[in-house]
Amino acid sequence: MPARSADVADLVARARAGQPRAVARLISLVEDASPQLREVAAALAPFTGNAQVIGLTGSPGVGKSTTTSALISALRGQGRRVGVLAVDPTSPFSGGALLGDRVRMQEHATDPGVFIRSMATRGHLGGLSWSTPQALRVLDAAGCEVVLIETVGVGQSEVEVVSLADTTVVLLAPGMGDGIQAAKAGILEIADAFVVNKADRDGAEQTIRDLKHMISLGRREIRGARWRPPIVRAVAARGEGIEEIVTAVDEHRQWMLAHGELERRRARRAAAEIEAIALQQVRARIGDLRGGTALDTLAKRVLVGELDPYQAADQLVAGLHESP
């Protein structure tokens, strides 16, 4: 894409007026880490903090996209504006889909109250693209009342979606060995609600029993107050259990508001974001020090025993205070 500079204020105004093309352009600006990234971030800031952010995670094929699609319909039925970030290259939203899923998404494609975007994984933070928090800010500022983030539950991405979402929904399905996987991946720790999807299949009751057992073993407490993650049975492919998921997520939000947990989570999210940006800046400045030679020079001095690594690191950090 050519480095054409955009009128950011105008884009933000049009995004807030609900123009999908403006939303898409703003996300592209933050996604490409364009020179206008800072300008965009500053322009969005006053309008952020309103969206209810819901993360959906679970093993490949468990039904995340089907559930997301059904949730969009339910939330639209309540008149809520919805944004979707699919952080998964195999997701139907990114076009790597089964035909049926794509057809299902068509009903939302023409709805101006829905904005769907898939994000490239890019490997920066494992499953989650590093620009996902910024894309989330765009959707939030654009007036999406709910933002759904779909991430495939592999490796670290479950944990990362937690750092972005207000409420994390973990999906399981019978016969996928999820019970054991869940225990291993620490999924119990991150779930604010469980969905046992594909309840039309054999083994759903067993999956629910396993889950209840695990929950009873590993209850969490948050400053005395306790949220017990509900278990929702769903057949997402038929739209069953979807209203119950919406209810569970909204009840969790009410509970968090009542216990100060929403603010705590969001403060943690902001802190992590600031830290990541600051570390990136420090790393870039170290790379630039003395025309990029500072680190190499220090390394050579450590190699010949002139400095120990701690002294060298002190010098490097001291160098950051010099004029750039």
Ligand X SMILES: Nc1nc2c(ncn2[C@@H]2O[C@H](COP(=O)(O)OP(=O)(O)OP(=O)(O)O)[C@@H](O)[C@H]2O)c(=O)[nH]1
Residues binding Mg ion (CB under 5 A): 64-65, 91
Q: Which of 87, 58, 97 is nearest to 150 (CA)?
A: 87
Rounded CA-CA distance 190/206 in Å is 21
Question: Taking CB under 6 A as the rule, which mask of x and - marks residues 148-177 in contact with ligand X?
Answer: ----x-------------------------
Structure tokens given for 256 = 């968090």
Q: Which does 218 bind (CB under 5 to 8 A by kind): Mg ion, ligand X, none?
A: none
* Residue 63 found at the interface with ligand X (CB under 6 A): yes
Among 35, 49, 60, 77, binds ligand X (CB under 6 A): 60
Closest CB to Mg ion among 36 and 68?
Answer: 68
CB of 122 to Mg ion, least distance (A): 18
Among 37, 183, 215, 237, binds ligand X (CB under 6 A): 237
- Contact present, 81 and 50 (Cβ < 8 Å): no
Helices (H) and strands (E) in the chain, counts: 14, 7
* Residue 117 found at the interface with ligand X (CB under 6 A): no
Rounded CA-CA distance 25/130 in Å is 18
Q: What residues numbered 76-105 form the site for ligand X, per CB under 6 A?
A: 88, 90-92, 98, 101
Among 21, 38, 124, 201, binds ligand X (CB under 6 A): 201
Apex 197 CA angle, 196 and 198, nearest 5: 130
Residue type (1 letter), 1 = M
Name residue, tokens 């944004």: 83
Closest CB to ligand X among 143 and 174?
Answer: 174
Q: Which residues make beta-bridge pairs with 128?
A: 125
Name the residue with the smallest CB distance to Mg ion: 65
Closest CB to ligand X among 97 and 295?
Answer: 97
Q: Which of 143, 164, 119 is nearest to 22 (CA)?
A: 143
Rounded CA-CA distance 203/208 in Å is 9
CB of 91 to Mg ion, least distance (A): 4
CB of 92 to ligand X, least distance (A): 6
Structure tokens given for 86 = 């699919």
CB of 160 to Mg ion, least distance (A): 16
Which residues of this protein are in contact with ligand X, per CB under 6 A?
A: 58, 60-66, 88, 90-92, 98, 101, 152, 197-198, 200-201, 235-237
